Structure 1
Amino acid sequence: MTDVSVVVVSYNTSELTIRGLRTLLGTPSLASYEVIVVDNASSDGSADAIAAALPEVRVVRLAVNVGFGRAVNAGAAHATGDYLMLLNPDAEPVGDVIGAFLTFARAVPASRVYVGRTLDVHGADDGRSIYALPTLWGYLCFATGLSTVFRRSALLNPEELPDRPRDLAGPVPAGSGCLLLIDRALFTELGGFTPDYFMYSEDIDLSQRATAAGAVPTLVPDAKVLHVNGASSTSVGKRVMVLRGKTTYLRLRWSPARARAGRALLVTGIALRAAGARLTGRAGYWREVWSQRATWLPGWPAPAELPPVREL
């Protein structure tokens, strides 16, 4: 039995994917593992390039781009490991990240979900691997701009957990899918990622459901990657997708009344930033995000409206 199945979802990032996986495969590990790359119908020849450069990697080719969560689910269907390790294609491992995860997981098996650290190009923690679950207070802080002005305040920027030391192991509310280890039996029990999400917030959703099932998402400081954040997303496009993920989470996990309040606060926050961009002539992308509110407010389409996941 393999210890860990590493699942990477690739979309038009062949060079980054190959570079990151060469680092992973070239680092001696305490764990036995397999690597599964799920190519989301890339248009840049990623699947062929990865297969040619890394013949030891299994490449699963999807007929259409089905987003992150459903692609991970497709990769997990081929996995044989006790654990699944999710790794972004634009993430380059630092040291034996698989071994660091597995050693911790064997020492603390009851956690069942383990979150790594994402570092910027200077090697500093970028603060984006762990998050709080969404709350109305957090959205109120966003709506008023307080979470931006006082980003280092745990009270006024609760979502980013600015007071939580990233070099200290222990429970966290939710972890990023950029670098995440999960007991494969638990992943199967949960039905994998909720298929309603194309991208963003599916990892928050998974963390919430895992916690409800008795798991304890836990930060593992020694599991680290360098992360070229959002390499396959444009600035405006990424922000719109992030907001679609957030409103999908509200639709699925909050009561209708609470979800309406949450969406109203998100709208207020984006309107505030768009107005500020107009006045200052800076951060003009917020004006474009505001103009696309009819797209992000409803969230992602329900699964029944999506194309099926089909492998080539």
Structure 2
Amino acid sequence: MKNIFQGVHNMKSGISIIIPNLNGEKVLPFCLRSLINQTLSKGNYEIIVIDNNSTDKSTQICETYSKLYKSPRIRCIKFSRNLGYGNAINIGAKYAQYKYILATNNDIIFHPFYLEVLLDTLEYVRSRMKNVVAAVGLHFYYPEVTCINSAGGLLSIVGGHYRYYGRCLGQSDFRNFMKQAVNKKKKKIFSLTGFGTGAALLIDRSIFMKIGGFYKLYFAGVEEFDLGLLLNLLGFRIIFVPTAVLFHRESFTFKRKGLNDTNKIKAYLPGNYIYVSTLIQGVDRIFAYLLLFSFSIFIFAFSLVKKDKNLSRSIIEVYRFITSDYFNKNLVARRAQFRITLHQYFETKKILKSLKMWKSPLAIIVDTFRSFLS
């Protein structure tokens, strides 16, 4: 493991925030304003917007903010095609000037203390635990601000699960939490977590680059689970910081939250197969394939009952893709890339169960079907 991390160079301390954007004119201004108004010193972070060929006014919005605000620096990089989430983050990381990158979305509103608290806590923990390389905060929904979107995550053989997903606090409990913990900038509160959600994952740029960033076959979805599992298998750890808070208008680009959506199925289901095919081993891999195939059959049957031809076609497209030569050649190459490095760490379930980061397949199935029907 040491060999692949040789040559890591030092960069100036701070955060490069990377925001993939696709037709986000309704949400991008709120995201940028919340970042401009952070309490972290303006010289300690930058904002990089990677535009995935938007057809609305979001590109102009980014350029306007870039001209208005010189600190933090805002860079707008536009591409002529949609690169997806993970690939946009990977490209943004190459442009990054700071030690850490924050992989995030355009539909986020950050609490003013988010960057300061998350960075201070991560660096405090890293001074004592060298294998901690990433951190994620407490994410509430927007506009249902008292309901939790994610509080770190647990992993399983088919993907991941957001901790406390959909759990809501009472108004008084929410106000007390914000007043006593967040607004007083209480720091150094953390716990280990299986993965950090892509809504706002802070990670050491050098480690992210050395392991190849988000894997290229992921278009949007599952890449956060994959990265979390890969980091844990390599001996690295991720922390959850409950006093770093943001508000997430989940699935703005997809337009709906649940999995009952053609575009989400085409993005997430292949991602789950990639995750299983490259990072899960032995009997668990066979079991995971069966679970994913069963879920596909359910979606197909559901589409027939609902007479939704687009949904049934999406399943057919998914299976054409995962049986294609392109898909399989890339999986073979990826397995070869990590075989030597990860072979001794591939007791996945044992490792993550010992860290209390592993969720049972049954619980994942229940959560997935609930999300699909929501």
Secondary structure of the structure 2 residue equivalent to 1:23: helix
Larger Rg: 2
Kindly indicate whether the alpha-carbon contact (under 8 Å) linking 1:175 and 1:207 is maintained by their aligned counterparts in 2: yes
Q: Cα distance, 1:304 vs. partner? A: 8.2
The 5 Å alignment of 1:19-34 reads 19-30=30-41, 32-34=44-46
1:173 to 194, 198, 221: 194
TM-score (ref. length: structure 2): 0.66
Q: Which residue of 2 aligns with 1:9?
A: 20
Q: Which has the higher helix share?
A: 2
- For 2:59 and 2:75, how far apart are their aligned partners in 1? 10
Cross-structure match for 2:251:
230
Please tell me the residue identity of whatever aligns with 2:315.
Answer: R
Q: 2:109 aligns with which of 84, 89, 92?
A: 92
Relative to structure 1, the CA distance from residue 303 to residue 45 in structure 2 (aligned partners, 3 Å threshold; closer, same or farther) is farther
The equivalent position to 2:62 in structure 1, one of 46, 50, 57, is: 50
Unaligned runs of 5+ in 2: 1-11, 169-176, 178-188, 331-374
How many angstroms does 1:255 deviate by?
Answer: 4.2
Is contact 1:130-1:176 (8 Å) kept?
yes
Change in 2 beyond 3 A, CA 1:176/1:94: same
**Superposed CA offset, 1:132-172 (max 9, x none):** 22326x8xxxxxxxxxxxxxxxxxxx834459x99972011
Query: Contact 1:271–1:290 (CA<8 Å) still a contact in 2?
Result: no
The correspondence for 1:186, drawn from 207, 228, 237, is 207
CA distance in 2, matches of 1:303, 1:81: 36
Cα deviation, residue 303, structure 1: 10
Once the two structures are aligned, what percentage of the paired residues are identical? 21
* Cα separation, partners in 2 of 1:272 and 1:197, compared to 1, 3 Å: closer
The offset of 1:289, in angstroms, is 3.6
Residue 184 of structure 1, CA deviation: 1.3
Shift of 1:123: 2.0
- Tell me the TM-score normalised to structure 1 length: 0.78
Q: Per-residue deviation at 1:106?
A: 1.4
State whether structure 2 residue 47 is matched by structure 1 residue 35.
yes
Q: Which has the higher contact order (CA 8 A, sep 6+)?
A: 1
Deviation, structure 1 residue 27: 3.0
Could you tell me which residue of structure 2 aligns to residue 205 of structure 1? 226
State the distance in 2 between where 1:266 and 1:304 align: 21
Residues of 1 paired with 2:199 and 2:328: CA distance?
23
CA distance in 1, matches of 2:329, 2:300: 34
- CA change 1:276–1:12 in 2 (3 A) is closer
- Confirm whether residue 80 of structure 1 aligns to residue 100 of structure 2: no
Of 113, 117, 121, 1:104 maps to: 121
